[in-house]
Structure 1
């Protein structure tokens, strides 16, 4: 095998390098396994190839580290024991830092101070800023994902959490994923306002990524720029002019945000489900939490919002509808995928009436369709929405009900582009500032609609 030219070996390695679980599992039930391994695979084939010989390792190392999964040893939130220096030193020593496309961070620990989702201590804004400065001074990813408990996510956003009544939901992990389509900085117009990406700009150009992977053995590259040069010149302003700063959300001009809250099925057999509040950072992101988390955190650059919550209570889903950020595209998934197996899991569905869950899901969609089919306030954020996509496995009948609501509405702006996708056409103008394409590129979290009978 050592006699085979490197170009041929790299071509072969390209075929065995499939999508990483940390990319394809973002819409699944938040679990460590969903982001770390593929079903039926004991070891990723590209990683196995890197163990064959030293020459093979040199060939695949740059491709192997385009997608990094980091699981730091964290023992307490108050101590902030994150230590990215060994990982970053390895990347720099092997000239791999410029090829990192996606970075996934898994924070898995149990802190007795967070028993029953209680976290009383105040988190200062600068407590974790050093961590993001260290990471992003070396790497410049197109996607940054965190899998952690809701309390941990709130801490990483430098915000206080209020999850003391979230015990019935039993959802240990949520997913927060930030992405952008290019490493270029956001342009500004003559008046100084940020130019929002258009539909054609939401297509990722793979030329930069393929160039960063390399086509042969590792060769020396220029040192990584400093933190000051890699970070945008100024922190981007938030939507309503409120000076609320979250370093992670503003350290790069992210254009897409995904929040996966997992399943809320278990709350349906508790005695007081309607009085319990889902542990979630949704209200923190949207700026409708208790003081001091009353300012929205989603930056101006985000135009694509993806929300996954399996069978949430309509009262919780309505938070997103009432405080929708100014976005061009909204993706919503409220039902499990067919391969998820929640509805077939006897332990998960014990003492639960599935009809009640589907009824609540339909109520949530009724709330959503009411927003889409009501004449929006020109100054409200719903008037800026251009694309709505549903990723739910709710059956053709449910989608038919959506179509019927649109047909009976006096609002004729929304048109069906394909199954599960609605596009807003304003007169003769084309879709100018939203993503009209659904693909699997970095920066677009959408997946195809799944059909099943409820």
Structure 2
């Protein structure tokens, strides 16, 4: 995919409200224009980068990674005066981004075989989404896709087939730890792993994620993990309930 995709959604009630414009106030950024409740980011395929020497040192273009870089230097409890001093005219935009992330209830991240260190940057940004209730992750191409075979053919031997799969495996370990963190420090209740559809990696992904997401997280056998409680019956048996 030559382009990256950013999709923002809002509740029906919020959609009816107008955006306030003031003559003495700059136009709001798209992120700060509405109190968005859902965000979907599709960063496309990273496969071409695997043909490069020391590919893991490359930094793919990424909105979320750049957002994390900016927010990482924002002082704790920064007031408007400090923000303006640090970022000048960009301060309102950065403040809007921070507010948006803290209000999101659903987030979807799609990227085809991203490097695990890049996923780590994305997850640091996701950890700021303390109101998040549902996280959707997809790191592999569709089962019927030929994108991997096509890239191998185009690379003419300059491609180790193991590299993207190894990166994906480590990435899901990081995803699981972030989900566990947000289940404790935030409101996260649900993780959906779309790559459950890929039979070749299904067992490995389930094993990796379930190894981190223990009680009170429950696996639904279909690529979803839900935060619930363990109910104890009268005879001492336990069963998962949501």
Structure 1 length as normaliser, TM-score? 0.39
Contact 1:232 1:252 in 2 (8 A): no
Q: What secondary structure sits across from 1:366 in the alignment?
A: helix
Matched, 1:341 2:146: yes
Q: CA 1:418–1:254 in 2, change beyond 3 Å: closer, same or farther?
A: farther
Q: CA 1:305–1:410 in 2, change beyond 3 Å: closer, same or farther?
A: closer
What is residue 263 of structure 1 aligned with on the other side? 45
User: Which residue of 193, 211, 216 maps to 1:413?
Assistant: 216
Q: What secondary structure sits across from 2:30 in the alignment?
A: helix
Q: CA 1:392–1:175 in 2, change beyond 3 Å: closer, same or farther?
A: same
Contact 2:179 2:188 in 1 (8 A): no
What is residue 54 of structure 1 aligned with on the other side? none
What is residue 10 of structure 2 aligned with on the other side? 180
- Paired with 1:320 and 1:284, the residues of 2 have a C-alpha distance of 9
Q: Deviations over 1:159-181 (max 9, x none)?
A: xxxxxxxxxxxxx4111111124
Contact 2:135 2:190 in 1 (8 A): yes
Larger helix proportion of the pair: 2
What is residue 110 of structure 2 aligned with on the other side? 308
What is residue 172 of structure 2 aligned with on the other side? 365
What is residue 354 of structure 1 aligned with on the other side? 161
- Paired with 1:393 and 1:406, the residues of 2 have a C-alpha distance of 11
Q: Deviations over 1:136-172 (max 9, x none)?
A: xxxxxxxxxxxxxxxxxxxxxxxxxxxxxxxxxxxx4
What is residue 134 of structure 2 aligned with on the other side? 329
Deviation at 1:248, TM superposition (A): 0.8
Deviation at 1:393, TM superposition (A): 5.8
- Paired with 1:410 and 1:301, the residues of 2 have a C-alpha distance of 24
What RMSD, in angstroms, separates the aligned Cα atoms of the two structures?
A: 3.4
Contact 2:113 2:167 in 1 (8 A): yes
Residue ranges of structure 1 left out of the alignment (5+ in a row): 1-29, 31-171, 187-224, 234-244, 432-454
Q: Deviations over 1:300-349 (max 9, x none)?
A: 44211111111111110001222322211111111111343211215555
- Paired with 1:284 and 1:313, the residues of 2 have a C-alpha distance of 16
What is residue 235 of structure 2 aligned with on the other side? none
Number of equivalent positions: 204
Q: CA 1:349–1:412 in 2, change beyond 3 Å: closer, same or farther?
A: farther
Contact 1:369 1:402 in 2 (8 A): no
What is residue 234 of structure 2 aligned with on the other side? none
Q: What secondary structure sits across from 2:149 in the alignment?
A: coil
Structure 2 length as normaliser, TM-score? 0.69
Deviation at 1:418, TM superposition (A): 4.2
Q: Deviations over 1:78-120 (max 9, x none)?
A: xxxxxxxxxxxxxxxxxxxxxxxxxxxxxxxxxxxxxxxxxxx
After TM superposition, the structure 1 = structure 2 runs for residues 156-235 of structure 1, keeping only pairs within 5 Å, are 172-182=2-12, 184-185=13-14, 230-231=18-19
Residue ranges of structure 2 left out of the alignment (5+ in a row): 22-26, 74-85, 232-240
Deviation at 1:412, TM superposition (A): 0.7
Q: What secondary structure sits across from 2:226 in the alignment?
A: strand
Larger radius of gyration: 1
After TM superposition, the structure 1 = structure 2 runs for residues 20-99 of structure 1, keeping only pairs within 5 Å, are 30=1
- Paired with 1:416 and 1:353, the residues of 2 have a C-alpha distance of 33
Contact 1:335 1:394 in 2 (8 A): no
Q: CA 1:391–1:357 in 2, change beyond 3 Å: closer, same or farther?
A: same
